[in-house]
Amino acid sequence: MDRSLWAVLTGTFTLRFSTGLTGAMLAFYLADLADAGQAGIDAKVVGVLAATFYLAELVLSPLFGIISDRLGHHKVMLYGPIFGAVAVVLTGLTTHVLVLGGTRILEGASTAASVPSILGYIALATAGNEVLRGKAAARFEGATLAGLGAGFIVAPKLFEVLGPNAFFLNALFYGGSLLIYRFWVTDPAGEREALTARHTNWRRYLELVSHSHVLLLAPTWIAVNASIGLWFSQSLFQFAKANPKFPDQWLLQGFSANQITFGAICIAIVFGVGIVWWGDRFDRFRRTTIILFGIMGGLALVAAGLVINHSAFEAGANPVDTGLVIVAGATLAGGLFVLAGATPAAVGLLADVSEKFPGDRGAIMGLYSVFLAIGQIGGSLIGGVAADGLGMDGLLLATGGLLLVALVPLRTLRTMEHHLGPGQAATLGDEAGGPA
């Protein structure tokens, strides 16, 4: 990969670090407000605020994807850090839940501007190179999730030390992303030609969504995102405080900031290694095969999590339970490693679709954010209800249910996978761009 592509990925990491940092610190901020007696703050409110972020991303990503095709992917990349910096400054200045909802909309706009333009850039820069596309897709997902994970890791201690002032520091991190995109990234080869090509409009964009491959990929990718998203929206809030409603659930005993940070580091390492490992095997496994493995790994993770949640209380007294917990922990780590492969594989599938529409890569890759946002909104709302009703068991069972849903359309998608990839150039909605 050349310097510009590495710079795009570096900027992706720093940008998503800022996003993850804000989301995680907001969970602690809300927990502090709830402890201070501010009425109306519970798991459902946490879920709604998380969903608001993704709703903004869902609505605005198609718009910014189309804009990036017309103005240039590199240029539109610069918008995201600006929106994000404004959002975090406002977050640090308010305690009002409605205003905090507005800042989540702004931060959602930051992601909506960044992701379609970044993915459009990557799809253009890797056109015709299977190995490079696999590496770039994996490293994009790795940078995205590593950035979010790093934000989650840093947030507990940073908020503990600085309190709400940490939001102002995050504005500087957003500024760093802006500098990376502005000075280290150059226009990719072929972008000038792409700017002069015929571009999509809203009618043809809606036709794309009804494209058979997209319809098959959408439910699988949405369900996988929802299964991951409910943890991003609820985990820190649940881990940070003891829940007397569920005294038999070990994972709801209330963990310290140091314990949460250590756990987040372990999860980030395993998931990050899994993303890179599977992304480097695009030339050996079909995209849908990697997704299938990922879903099965996620189901194993759920089973192991349930064992840990109910066995760990007895582990100190019963050697059999101690061994069971160790086996469950190893299974959980292995399942997480395999689940990680589903994310770059889905990005690779979408990039394959974009090969048929070289003038509209941003619009097509913007569907990544659409699927992500729908999944994260659903996951955030499901997670809030599940956590309130069944505690950590609810989150685990909801995860398993969503992964089972993701399996349903996967078999049909596998039969159509060979139609994806380079083909006759077309714009959205043209018959020439449809499946073979």
pLDDT at 317 over 60: no
- Would you state the pLDDT for residue 148? 83
> pLDDT, tens digit, for every residue of 151-185?
878 888 899 899 999 999 999 999 999 999 999 99
- Of 403, 386, 404, nearest to 395 by C-alpha is 386
Give the domain CATH number at 63. 1.20.1250.20
Mapping DSSP onto H, E and C, the string for the chain reads CCHHHHHHHHHHHHHHHHHHHHHHHHHHHHHHHHHCCCCCCCHHHHHHHHHHHHHHHHHHHHHHHHHHHHHCHHHHHCHHHHHHHHHHHHHHCCCCHHHHHHHHHHHHHHHHHHHHHHHHHHHHHCCCCHHHHHHHHHHHHHHHHHHHHHHHHHHHHHHHHHHHHHHHHHHHHHHHHHHHHHHCCCCCCCHHHHHHCCCCCHHHHHHHHCCHHHHHHHHHHHHHHHHHHHHHHHHHHHHCCCCCCCCCCHHHCCCCHHHHHHHHHHHHHHHHHHHHHHHCCCCCCCHHHHHHHHHHHHHHHHHHHHHHHHHHHHCCCCHHHHHHHHHHHHHHHHHHHHHCCHHHHHHHHHHHHHCCCHHHHHHHHHHHHHHHHHHHHHHHHHHHHHHHHHHHHHHHHHHHHHHHHHHCCHHHHHHHHHHCCCCCCCCCCCHHHCCC
Planar angle of CA 315, 317, 319, nearest 5 degrees: 65
Checking if the pLDDT of 198 tops 80, the result is no
pLDDT at 162: 93
Mean pLDDT over 220-248 rounds to: 81
Q: What is the Cα–Cα distance from 260 to 249, expressed in whole angstroms?
A: 17
At 27, is the pLDDT very low, low, confident or very high (cuts 50, 70, 90)?
confident
Contact, 433 vs 211, CB < 8 A? no
> What mean pLDDT do residues 306-315 have?
73
This prediction has a pTM of: 0.73
Interval 118-149: pLDDT, tens: 988 888 888 767 678 778 888 888 888 788 87
Three-class HEC string of 218-239: HHHHHHHHHHHHHHHHHHHHHH
Tokens of 216: 């098959």
Query: Which band of pLDDT confidence, cut at 50, 70 and 90, is reported for residue 434?
Result: very low
Higher pLDDT, 128 or 21: 21
CA distance 261 to 38: 26
CB 252 within 8 A of CB 387: no
Most confident of 123-132, 160-169, 271-280, 370-379: 160-169
Asked whether the predicted pLDDT for residue 88 surpasses 90, the reply is yes
CB 340 within 8 A of CB 411: no
Between 218 and 398, residue with greater pLDDT? 398
The answer to whether 127 and 355 have CB atoms below 8 angstroms apart is yes
Q: Is the pLDDT of residue 4 over 80?
A: yes
User: Is pLDDT above 90 for 389?
Assistant: no
Q: How confident is the model at residue 430 (pLDDT cuts 50, 70, 90)?
A: very low
Residues near 279 by beta carbon (within 8 Å), at least 6 away in sequence: 134, 135, 137, 138, 139, 141, 142, 341, 344
Asked if the model's pLDDT at residue 286 lies above 70, the reply is: yes
Provide the pLDDT confidence category of residue 398 given band limits of 50, 70 and 90. Answer: very high
**Residue owning tokens 């802006």:** 178
Average pLDDT, the chain: 82
Model pLDDT, residue 79? 95
To which residue do tokens 């992303």 refer?
177
Instruction: Tally the domains of the chain.
Output: 1
Task: Give 391's pLDDT tier (boundaries 50, 70, 90).
Answer: confident
* Token code pair at residue 228: 């991951």
Domain boundaries, position 129: 3-433
pLDDT at 125: 84
Question: Cα(first)–Cα(last) distance of the chain, in Å?
Answer: 31
Q: pLDDT class for 432, splitting at 50, 70, 90? A: very low
